Amino acid sequence: MHDDDVATAAPPGRAHLLIDRYHRIVPVLDRVTIGAAVALVTTGVAVTALAVAARKIPALPSMSWASELTTFCLVAAVLLVVPQGLRQNTQMAVTVLTDRLGDRGFQALTAVNQVLSACLFGVLAWFGTETVLIQQASHTPQLGLSMAVPYLVLAVAAALMLLETVVRFAEALLGRAPRGPVGADTPVEV
């Protein structure tokens, strides 16, 4: 057991208040993103079921575009819920090192991890936004959907992941970054 295993509570400053405010807003954001993800998965499943039925029932029209729409729906759904997984700390992790660190070491390592993650998500958000602008005239082969739409989902999801990373970085600097899953036991109602 390390001497610094127990973090001392810092006086509430502006950063603490901003983080607390953000955590109060998060349930609304979760309802929106999870609701959108549920709608996207439902759409993908329904379209796939109809496409399979259309192969067997001659009266139904051909749905050659179904696999394209299903793919877009499922990828968008996953991208929209990844930020919640980052916030709740439920992503897969190898914790051999972090389990042995005291609180200060854990917070420092978390801060470094968040900087590296922010670089990745920042690049995804930046180039995703740039690609939205470049791909506006391009269209998908089957649906005829503007390619700006899937890239817009990528840019939005990357921006949300970047936001989560910045919040976790601030928490680590303040000694508040959690170890292990957070809030996973409270389901989000859609």
Q: What is the pLDDT of residues 3-27, one digit of tens each?
A: 444 445 545 678 888 888 888 999 9
Residue 189 has pLDDT above 80, yes or no: no
Quote the Cα angle for 152-156-157, to 5°: 115
Q: Is residue 3 part of a domain?
A: no
The region that residue 89 occupies, defined by phi over 0 for left and psi between -120 and 50 for alpha, beta otherwise, is: left
The pair of three-digit structure tokens given for residue 130, joined into one six-digit string: 């740039």
Identity of the amino acid at 140? T
Q: What is the pLDDT of residues 33-45, one digit of tens each?
A: 999 999 999 999 9
Q: How many domains are contained in the chain?
A: 1
Rounded Cα distance, 143 and 64, in Å: 9
Angle between helices 148-173 and 66-88 (to 10 degrees): 10
- What's the rounded mean pLDDT across residues 75-86? 92
Q: Give strand pairing partners of 15.
A: none
Q: Is residue 56 part of a domain?
A: yes
Q: Is residue 157 part of a domain?
A: yes
Q: Is residue 37 part of a domain?
A: yes
Rounded Cα distance, 131 and 147, in Å: 9
Q: Is residue 77 part of a domain?
A: yes
Q: Give the pLDDT of residue 44.
A: 95
Work out the number of other CB atoms within 10 angstroms of the CB of residue 29.
17
Q: What is the pLDDT of residues 99-143, one digit of tens each?
A: 888 889 888 999 999 999 999 999 999 999 999 999 888 998 888
Q: Is residue 190 part of a domain?
A: no
Q: What is the pLDDT of residues 43-77, one digit of tens each?
A: 999 999 999 999 888 888 888 899 999 999 999 99
Decide: 178 and 89 in contact? Cβ < 8 Å: yes
Decide: 125 and 155 in contact? Cβ < 8 Å: yes
Q: Is residue 101 part of a domain?
A: yes
Q: Chain centroid to CA 175: how far? A: 23
Query: How confident is residue 144, by pLDDT bands cut at 50, 70 and 90?
Result: confident
Tell me the CA distances in angstroms from 111 to 18, 73, 104, 122, 174, one per residue in order.
18, 33, 11, 16, 10
Rounded Cα distance, 83 and 77, in Å: 11
The region that residue 37 occupies, defined by phi over 0 for left and psi between -120 and 50 for alpha, beta otherwise, is: alpha
Residue 176 has pLDDT above 90, yes or no: no
pTM over 0.85: no
Q: Give the pLDDT of residue 163.
A: 93
Work out the number of other CB atoms within 10 angstroms of the CB of residue 187.
9
Q: Is residue 23 part of a domain?
A: yes
**What residue numbers bound the domain in which 89 lies?**
14-173
